[in-house]
Chains A and B, each alone.
Chain A
Amino acid sequence: MSSHPMTSRPLYFIILSFLFTFFPSCGGSSIALAQAEPIDIATTQMIPDSEQVVVEPVTSLIAADHKYDDGGMIDLSWVPSIDDQLVASRVIGYKVYRIEDEGEPEMISELAPGSNTYNDQSVERGKLYSYFVSTLSINAETPSVRTAPIEPQREWLNYELLNVLIMALVLGGAVIYFIETARRGKKLFVRKIAGLEAVDEAIGRATEMGRPILFIPGILDMDDVQTLAALTILGRVARIIADYDTKIFMPVSRSLVMTAGRETIKASYQAAGRPDAYSDDMVTYITDEQFGYVAAVDGIMVREKPATCFLLGAFFAESLILAETGNSVGAIQIAGTARPAQLPFFIAACDFTLIGEELFAASAYLSGEPKQMGSLKGQDVGKAIAMAAILIGILTVTIGDAWNVEWIQNITTGLVDVFSTR
């Protein structure tokens, strides 16, 4: 079977993820901070002075470039008006004004009383911005002093996500390590998966009964990893049916899956020394539309009465319809999907079900391919880390709360920070 691009060169994906996460930009300079300048701006004259309810302006207005972004945000902070802090406050809100490149002031936001921060996310690099905040009373506005112009900057790295990078590198490193280990010929242990022994028996049953096998690789396209896992298992199934000369039907809902399926089965027949027994009609494209595909497959099941149905891959609402119809024609059904919503139906209606990641484990187990085996083992490292973190975290946070022990609470805080993404 041809190797899939997705399973080659895992290092490329580490680099890709690094780029996507940590390089919001391709330039960089230091963070700029603007200090308030004593620029005089007159109080808004909307009604006669004598009737205005004048309130104190905000103070200590600071505009700062937002850290670790692409230069698209400026953070504003200020001390609210003294009048806003009184019990009988006369302040009804604040308005944030922005001046772009020494142009006219533009009101960009209106905030509730008590507000003391604002993130302006509609700025662009290469432009200068200054701000002032007006305090609103029922009939007047009192602007603050204006900040000095500031230009938003982009940064190379987002250090706030450093923990995500480290975790990704640890996991990615584990995957690469195990792939290389498998390539060197070392046998990697994968526990027995219930349902896999049934594959050979199920195909044998179909051969004895003289009825065909139906293989459904899910309804998603080749870019979905469940479809790839299903096609890997198809390779194994096709090899056996080529030996036994059993008929197979494989209706698909994606054109690329059709061509990949045909290649897989053709290769299996060639490997079995029976290339002339292969026919393109074994794999047929139905339609992309979900329930149109299901209606057609149901019709095939009822008319062809397969002895064995393989339902492996990504399924959605059609899962129960397919499983029930297969059950009604008396087929033995082996299902597997990583979509939790569909697993209950397969478990209820099928004879054997590969639950979630067992589908990928089965694919790795059957193919024995170093990349798949290595990926599986690498993911187990991630699971081990998750289990350890949960166990240690829950114990320390529970005990730390009970006995108020600082060092235990520090462990909890550190652990939570390791997994924090904000």
Chain B
Amino acid sequence: MTIIIKKKESLELLQGNEAIARGALEGGVRFCSGYPGNPSSEIIDTLAKAAHSLSIYVEWSVNEKVALEAATAASFAGLRSIVCMKQNGVNVVSDFLTNLTLSGTKGGIVLVSCDDPSGISSTNEEDARPFATLTDIPLLEPATPQEALEMTRWAVELSEEIQNVVMLRSVSRLSHTRSNVHMKNLPDFNTKACFDISTAFHTFPVVDKHKARDAKLVKASQIFEESPFNRYVGHSRPELLVITSGCASNYVVDAVGILGLKDRVGILKLGTTSPLPVKLLTRYLSTCNRILFAEEIDPFLEKEIKSLAGDLAKEIGLKEFMGKASGHIPSCGELSPGHLMEVLGNLFNISWKKDEYREKISGLIKDAIPPREFGFCPGCPHRGSYYAIKLALAWDNRQGFVSGDIGCYTLGIWPTGFNQVKSVHAMGSGLGLACGYGKLDQFGFDQPVITVCGDSTFYHSGLPAMVNATFNQADVLLLILDNSATAMTGFQPHPGCGKTAMGNVTDVVDMEGLCRSMGAEVMVADPYEMEKTAEIIYGLLQKRGQRVLILRRKCALVQGREGGFPYKVEIDQDLCLGEECGCNRYCTRIFRCSGLVWDNQVGKACIDKIICVGCGICVDICPQGAINKTIK
């Protein structure tokens, strides 16, 4: 059950993503789609829960492009829809999006991009906002969960009014923030889906459609002049004007408050950040000659407004601009109140740092605090998979390596995965790279390459690369790590699971069958059986052509919810060699499961009973047979 299905008005603690979901519902959205991606996943997760009680449709699509296309069909049929993704998803939809925004839409359709500044849970740090200017569509940036709700609700209507996609951009610190949100009433859901066959949605003639799109943008710009989402707080003639948007605006407000600069610094928070409301900006740019831009991640507003200021120079005069270009605001990474306090403190010569306290603490602590590295959960099948891969590549002895992909198994680049993975980029890229490696033998390349790919990733974008490998006869060895889950993002279902986002039973897309149909030799193994799996991998490494090994074993967290593991694991410390030759603490130093720890008192390994889940696979790695498992 989710709070967002409450029909009547109420005040709740909502997460930014929940607020977006609620805003979509209040805006009359009926069709919701997306692909899991941190920090966006909760939007569709929440809507999927709401679908039990409301007349809406929610799906996890196989990838973001299909998600947008499917939602667009609803729009063409007059329904309102929402599509949600992280910043990388916008890259995936871009081809369709650049065309869709030319053909225009019918029912309101909102594209939500949740960006991840600092790449806290991403392979990159990317600002999706430039896609709005690239495709000439309106862009909204909420600063709080309350605004996220209101903007989403409004975005749906705006999209329907201008007959084009509207983009809403959030960031992790907004999407995952919870705060007080006022929910309004839910409308009645009763539009009939219908495609008006007297109309058509295409992009021809291209130039005319382009001009029409520009005109829609002008209309949006006029609407934005009056938008309550653009707010100014401060003196009518401030000493410094800060132009900010999104979650970063909160840090500006905090910093100005703490430093006592309310009367000296004006804060213009923009919510409608493209197209820019020119009249509004002209007004405020005229009030001050020093302007600081505070935004995440790219200098997006900074560049657009500097360009605008160039056009308006005669009217508004020359300005001193500060921001990322000038180095006042860091060019990379997410912002925080500290960053704003730093720049404002410098500009206004206010000292605020607790240097004395920090020095005292540094003196006490020095460098005694070890970092905490990421690791696979106890019982994770990926640990077994990478261990088997490590063995097989060592036995093969030809400097083989792993081409990686996105998911929990990305952690294979670190010691938890025995540092096996040597490249990670975008969804499905590991396989694409493999197609290339698989053709380099004519240039003397003699190193075997193992590609790993998760089950969800495989369906998302691995398939075209597989087809390519067949078509172009590339030697590819693919290990599909099938843990029956899209685990990293929160266990959303995918085409191999047999269940949809809304909980309906569905056909499983047969992974083995798919691979075989492409001419691959397909085998299945259990990554818990590490030595056996290593032997299978070794055998496959000696062959050529397309080979697929599916390593199938449930995610440990899923298994934990479904009854857990059968074993109680213990260590016989009398048998344990500890650091001596013959072991040198192999289990803790190399295998590195957090349930298997070191007893400093006696210099031997021991099981952490609180953390060990009882999967029992560590039994096989002890050279002394000191680790035992018994049925619980």
Are the chains A and B members of one assembly? no
Binding site for A on B (CB under 8 A): none
Binding site for B on A (CB under 8 A): none
